C-alpha cells in the first residue's frame, strides 16, 4: 500500500484527534468532521486502490454473464451511507453546539463540567 496514502489517512486522523482535544466546541465538531473524512478514505483503501478504468467501476455494463474485476463494491456501499449519516450527525452536533452556547454563554468545553 502506498506510503503517501497511508500518511494522508494517518494525518487526517491525527489532525482530527488534535481538534477534538481543543477547548473550543466548534473545533471539536470540525475535528469530528475531519475524522469522518479520514475514516471514509481509510475504508476505501481497504478495498484496494488501483488506477481507475471503465472496468473497475462497480456498475456493470450489461446484464450479461461477463463480470469484470471491479473495485470492491462493499466498501463503497459502506462509505456511501457513512457520508450521508455523517452529514446528519454533523448537523446534530452543530445544533447541539448552538443550543449549548445559548444555555451556557460560552464555547469553552472546560467550563461545562
Residues 42-101 that bind other proteins (CB under 8 A): 42, 44-53, 56-63, 67, 69-74, 76-77, 79-81, 83-92, 94-99, 101
32 near other proteins (CB under 8 A): no
Please state the closest distance from residue 54 (CB atom) to other proteins, in A.
Answer: 9
Nearest approach, Cβ of residue 105 and other proteins (Å):
9
For the chain, the distance separating the N- and C-terminal CA atoms, rounded to the nearest angstrom, is 43
All three cell numbers of 35, joined, read 475524522
Biggest alpha carbon distance in the chain? Answer: 63
Do residues 21 and 102 lie in contact, with contact meaning Cβ atoms separated by under 8 Å?
no
Binding footprint of other proteins, residue count (CB under 8 A): 90
Count CB neighbours of 16 within 10 A.
Answer: 20
Q: At closest approach, how far in Å is the CB of 75 from other proteins?
A: 8
Q: Are 32 and 45 in contact (CB under 8 A)?
A: no
Q: How far is the CB of 46 from other proteins (least distance, A)?
A: 6
Amino acid at each position: 500500500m502506498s506510503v503517501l496514502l497511508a500518511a494522508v489517512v494517518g494525518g487526517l486522523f491525527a489532525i482530527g484527534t488534535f481538534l477534538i482535544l481543543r477547548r473550543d466546541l466548534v473545533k471539536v465538531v470540525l475535528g469530528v468532521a475531519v475524522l469522518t473524512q479520514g475514516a471514509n478514505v481509510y475504508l476505501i483503501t481497504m478495498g484496494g486502490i488501483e488506477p481507475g478504468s471503465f472496468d473497475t467501476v462497480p456498475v456493470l455494463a450489461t446484464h450479461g454473464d461477463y463480470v469484470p474485476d471491479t473495485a470492491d463494491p462493499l466498501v463503497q456501499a459502506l462509505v456511501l451511507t457513512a457520508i450521508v449519516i455523517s452529514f446528519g450527525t454533523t448537523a446534530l452536533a452543530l445544533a447541539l453546539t448552538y443550543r449549548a452556547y445559548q444555555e451556557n454563554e460560552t464555547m469553552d468545553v472546560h467550563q461545562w463540567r
